[in-house]
Amino acid sequence: MSEATSGAGAGYVPAELYTEVQQFYARQMNLLEGPAADPDAWARTFTEDAVFATAGEPEPPAGRENLRDTVRAGVEHIAAQGLDFRHWFGMVGVERRPDDTLRTRYYALAMATARGGPLKVRGSMLCHDELVRGDDGRLLVRRRSLDADGRER
Amino acid sequence: MSEATSGAGAGYVPAELYTEVQQFYARQMNLLEGPAADPDAWARTFTEDAVFATAGEPEPPAGRENLRDTVRAGVEHIAAQGLDFRHWFGMVGVERRPDDTLRTRYYALAMATARGGPLKVRGSMLCHDELVRGDDGRLLVRRRSLDADGRER
Amino acid sequence: MSEATSGAGAGYVPAELYTEVQQFYARQMNLLEGPAADPDAWARTFTEDAVFATAGEPEPPAGRENLRDTVRAGVEHIAAQGLDFRHWFGMVGVERRPDDTLRTRYYALAMATARGGPLKVRGSMLCHDELVRGDDGRLLVRRRSLDADGRER
């Protein structure tokens, strides 16, 4: 396949990069939701100064430490309720900027199932991430912006 | 990995092509559903003579112009209702034909959320596309065939 | 992209392997759910001695023959009810072991639509597969372990 007809030529990113992002997201969310949920490891998938913004809400304090505390409280709250929580990401688009950072756009679907209960779809979101590489070359989220579907605008 | 054990060797398409299709679909549907919804740009992801067929319904007039008009009306109707609409594609299979066209098969899930309301799953579909390349090498849909789950047969 | 920054360098598998797994799953489940449902072909995507385990239930008899019989009965039961059944796999993680077998982890969502009825989400599962290669190099499932969300623990 010539460059002109390759994914890159059509404004897409190469397969290695695209599948790296897919694998990054699968691993990241599994760190919240699998049997091996680990809020500390999840927080380390963000930069030290990361921002986690939700449209329509005040921007929360930045930084990995704040993220870790927030998500640990969330994981404990979910566990106390006996819920199995799942986040699915789909329809992922990836753009590489001249400075080698990545901008991604994806849909996220949040679902939860109580012990012995039916699955409930909590809602969907349109998400944008800014991804950078850490010193060891791994992807890290520098900014995540969520916009919940159905939000009053 | 030898050819014998590669994805291509097992009747699959190479990673560059597979991820190009994934990125094409993510971008195409974002042209309908993102904050930057653009029915004109969406229509340009189809060939001039494209057919958009729905099982059990008469085949509509072919062509990009008709598609654009239909989808623009749909986008305006959805906006008037205040809905955030999302289409997810998943479980994508890609086959490359000897003439270099692609046949794809995938599931699509349609979801909508009203302002301040809960997400509603509208339904799922089994979809088949015929994809070709335009003069600039980009993928274009020449035929899209939808078959809604639950349809009376 | 240097090795240090590639997906492989971050503990991920290369794009060819990742997309092969994605294509394998899409094809496998289409063998159960598409118009061309074929329980025999589906069973041949498992090894002769495959195990299909469900958490909280006794481990069923191993082997491709047992799987085929079980799934054929399931397909017939679903057809008799007039349901369109869909399984989506998402958030796939792939790990390559030193012996070249693969361990995968993914979420699965089961959905069904009755003739003329609405789509119902049946539930979600956390799944783990052990994949090996057959003599012809194709992927085969040697073990599939499902853990339904909401299961009493």
Q: Which residues of C touch A113 (CB under 8 A)?
A: 123-124, 149-150
Start-end of H helices in chain C: 15-33, 39-43, 64-80
Residue B19: closest C-alpha in chain A: A15
Q: Indicate yes or no: CB of B116 within 8 angstroms of CB of A150.
A: yes
B22-62: per-residue pLDDT in tens?
999 999 999 999 677 899 999 999 999 999 999 999 989 99
Q: Which residues of B touch C17 (CB under 8 A)?
A: 1, 7
Residue A7 in contact with partner chain B when CB distance is under 8 A: yes
Candidates B85, B89, B47; CA nearest to B68 is: B47
In terms of Cβ atoms closer than 10 Å to its own Cβ (0-12, 13-18, 19+), residue B30 is buried
A60-119: per-residue pLDDT in tens?
999 999 999 999 999 999 989 999 999 999 999 999 999 999 999 999 999 999 999 999
Q: How far apart are CA C95 and CA C100, in angstroms?
A: 10
Q: How far apart are CA B62 and CA B50, in angstroms?
A: 6
Q: Which residues of B touch A149 (CB under 8 A)?
A: 84, 86, 113, 119
Q: How far apart are CA B67 and CA B139, in angstroms?
A: 17
pLDDT in tens, chain C (153 residues): 333 344 444 689 999 999 999 999 999 999 998 677 899 999 999 999 999 999 999 999 999 999 999 999 999 999 899 999 999 999 999 999 999 999 999 999 999 999 999 999 999 999 999 999 999 999 999 999 999 999 988
pTM above 0.80, yes or no: yes
In terms of Cβ atoms closer than 10 Å to its own Cβ (0-12, 13-18, 19+), residue B9 is middle
- Domains of chain B by start residue, with CATH: 11-148 (3.10.450.50)
Instruction: Fill in the DSSP letter of residue A131.
Output: E
Q: Indicate yes or no: CB of A23 within 8 angstroms of CB of C15.
A: no
Q: How far apart are CA A95 and CA A10, in angstroms?
A: 12
Which residues are registered as beta bridge partners of B119? B113
Instruction: Fill in the DSSP letter of residue C101.
Output: -
Q: How far apart are CA B51 and CA C113, in angstroms?
A: 26
B30: phi then psi, degrees, rounded to nearest 5: -65, -25
Q: What is the mean pLDDT of residues B63-68?
A: 95
ipTM of the complex: 0.92
Q: Indicate yes or no: CB of C4 within 8 angstroms of CB of A116.
A: no
A40-50: per-residue pLDDT in tens?
999 999 999 99
Q: How far apart are CA B33 and CA B26, in angstroms?
A: 10
When pLDDT is cut at 50, 70 and 90, the band that residue B8 belongs to is very low
